Structure 1
Amino acid sequence: MNVTTFAQLLAVGLIAGTSPALAQSFNAAPPNAERQQPAFAGQTRAPILADSITLERTVIARGLDHPWGMDQLPDGRWLFTERSGTLRIVGADGSKSRAIAGLPEVDARQQGGLLDVTIRDDFTSSRRVWWSYAEPRGNGTNATAVATGTLSSDEQRMENVEVIFQQQPAWRSANHFGSRLVFDKTGALFVTTGERYYEASRQLAQDLRTTLGKVVRITPMGGAAAGNPELPGGLPEIWSYGHRNIQSAALGPDGTLWTVEHGPKGGDELNHQQAGRNYGWPIIAYGENYSGTPVGEGLTAKDGMEQPVYYWDPVIAPSGMVFYDGAMFPEWQGDALIGGLASQALVRLKLDGENVTGEARYLEGRSRIRDVDVDATDGSIIILTDAANGTLTRLTRR
């Protein structure tokens, strides 16, 4: 292979996944916040994982309108959202259902719209679905909300719809809704929220009387779940606080919650969620404001505030997350797979307990990956690509 051909392939990501140590240079990119240093060894820029696996892409469905979230139905089909406000089902042959009727109105401006969706193991009998969305609240304001309903037997509409969570306060913003939904092993529902982006609203990530910039934990039909931390003066549904905009969340192999949140310019964070902990935003942060100015006083650490397990600078712009559990990629068992928007990559992290020991990226430069999951039938990896002509795509080993 001549130099020109290699450079062209590398630029479009055609050899990413064949040999990350050779094909990937993300660790060589200069940081956005050059003066900041990690709090401990391995907190950022972990060694690039050597990997001989090449991923084969097969598009299951095309023409999706900025798809955001998905979950697999018991029969192997996929339930997915489009940010414009539609919920659909796609079959193995790529056929898409009509938009399922009966969902509440969404505010689909910029980052808003219909967002995540999930079901539980009892779906076959209950037919119950949960979804999150940007809820219009009047006068140009909106906020993250979660609703649940039962899918009709003909799959044409959602019935008995109830709104079970409404982020407070509403804000005049079209950004930072957070919005991943994850059921824990007790049956409680984790909901991640954003702090709505603006300087005034970001301060409320530290205010325990609000649900901006929080992880909340509720019952499947709403209200604080049993076992939540007791925070002085805080709302009973709050699990953790001090977050910027969490769009990646999943249960780890031990059943505990992990999240990845969007940082500012530099400073996306991987956190192992602990009840009642303060994760610092906007008092401490890695990275800087988009203008190049420091976030707050420019602090990266402070007593009483948690350090991220890992951070990225430059950012990957995370969205979607799963810990691999399947037969197709036994080498990846227990590894975290994270969708990358700005990085346009599937990011893989190898962990040893709470230490990230290696990172690899696949499909670099091809598309914005909005969500990632594992097909329960064969262990292949399913991704949603975020575009006006987005796709549901299967990744297998070549």
Structure 2
Amino acid sequence: MKNNAQRRWVAVVIMIITVAVANCSVAQDKNALSTETIISEISVPWGMAWLPDGTMLITERSGDLWLYNDEKLRDEPIAGVPKVWARSQGGLLDIALHPNYEQNGWIYITYSSPEGGGGANTALMRARLNEGRTELIDKEMLYKAEPNTTRGQHFGSRIVFDNEGYVYFGIGDRGNRDVNPQDITRDAGKIYRLHDDGRIPEDNPFVDSADAKNAIFAYGIRNPQGMALNPETGELWEHEHGPRGGDEVNIIKAGNNYGWPIISYGINYSGTEFAEDTARAGMEQPEWYWDPSIAPSGMTFVTSDKYPEWKGDLLVGSLKFGYIVHCKVKNNTVTDTEIVLRDIGRTRNIKQGPDGYIYIATEGDNGIVRVIPENE
């Protein structure tokens, strides 16, 4: 009797598990996604932006600016791109359109500028396209970080406009963590805010600080390769690479110190410790951090009805593991994360296009892909 009872109990448990697995499979099938490669010719795509007619502009880190329309990449890159110092992590970086692009035609680009010699540093420029969209014209340098250095790491950089028309961009610490990020009299390791024409806003937090770089909006930053405006709150969100562990998602606010390298949840690549603390008064804690590091690059808030499971949340790309992280956002904070779209490739950028689809720029064979909901 005892054996029969045990067998019946085991059978019931197996049945429950089978039903649960079946239900799980149905849910996964219902919410499954597929991807399609739309551009495979660009080796390291970095920035993506869309003109009003749906034409896509793509920066390639090596220094080319490409135009994609009618489901194909134009044969030749756009001429007139500024000279870039395309070495290691440097090159042609992000691209964004002015919010009033249809009226003024301004396009904004960050890149590693060798102007001045002795290496390079991150710069922000703006330009327009000529009538045939074959060349950049009316080029204006809006900001150039100083001094140049031959170090090849941590240029940043992303560009975001807020709802008031200010333009934000980030510059990494340029490999000089013990000097640049905590010193507001020096460039690098900062988030900057400008008027759209490069003027310094009068209410920037350090305009009255002696010798400070007046364009600085926030500091204590390591290497920001993702920034996005929260469409619900209007706040600027940013993520940055930690060293070995300690990748962060932050909400960037005026004058705040984000702690690098005084506080960090990471350690040196060698395994030794460097940070004095993980928290300290006057330094901001991240909204989320990863340990081990995922090497985040690119981020976007999802507002599209095409992805109901992600709507209102944040997507972050991983260079290290080649997947996308779905960051669940509630009450303006990250409450949990899950890995989605595994094996997508080394992700450089992720954006929601004007057509509502998610586009992911990856290095290597996958190229730039469009994420397709299963029900389409």
TM bin, normalised by shorter chain, reads 0.7 to 0.9
Q: Are 1:383 and 2:360 an aligned pair?
A: yes
Looking at both structures, which has the greater relative contact order when contacts are Cα pairs under 8 Å and sequence separation is at least 6? 1
Structure 1 residue 146 displacement after superposition: 0.9
TM (norm. structure 1) is 0.83
How far does residue 92 in structure 1 lie from its aligned partner after superposition? 4.2
Partner of 2:319: 341
- What is the distance in 2 between the residues matched to 1:239 and 1:375? 28
1:103 deviation in Å? 1.5
Q: Contact 2:142 / 2:198 at 8 angstroms: preserved in 1? A: yes
Cα distance in 1, alignment partners of residues 30 and 300 from structure 2: 21
- Determine what percentage of the aligned residue pairs are the same residue: 39
Instruction: For 1:137-148, list aligned pairs within 5 A.
Output: 137=115, 140-148=118-126
For 2:186 and 2:50, the matched residues in 1 are separated by 33
Consecutive unaligned residues in structure 1, runs of 5 or more: 1-18, 24-49
Aligned to 2:182: 206
Q: Is the 8 A contact 1:203 1:282 kept in 2?
A: no
1:1-398 to 2 correspondences below 5 Å? 53-137=31-115, 140-198=118-176, 201-230=177-206, 232-233=209-210, 234-252=212-230, 253-297=232-276, 299-377=277-355, 379-387=356-364, 391-398=367-374
TM-score, normalised on structure 2? 0.88
Amino acid at match of 1:67: P
**2:179 match: secondary structure:** helix
Kept in 1: contact 2:192–2:217 (CA 8 A):
yes
Cα root mean square deviation, aligned:
2.1
* 2:137 aligned partner, one-letter code: E
Equivalent pairs counted in the alignment come to 348
Asked whether the 8 Å contact 1:131–1:148 carries over to 2, the reply is yes
Following the alignment from structure 2 to structure 1, what is the Cα–Cα distance between the partners of residues 283 and 340? 33
Deviates more, 1:132-141 or 1:248-257: 132-141
Q: Which one is further off, 50-59 or 273-282? A: 50-59
Q: How far is 1:353 from its partner?
A: 2.2
Is the CA contact (8 Å cut-off) linking 2:157 and 2:172 kept in structure 1? yes
Change (3 A) 1:335 1:212: same
SS at match of 1:206: coil
**1:299-351 Cα shifts (integer Å, max 9, x gaps):** 11111111111100011111111110112012322100111111211111111
Q: State the distance in 2 between where 1:54 and 1:333 align.
A: 15
Max Rg structure: 2
Cα shift at 1:94: 2.5
- Structure 2: where are the runs of 5+ without partners? 1-20
> Once the 2 structures are TM-superposed, how far is the Cα of residue 139 of structure 1 from its aligned partner?
5.0
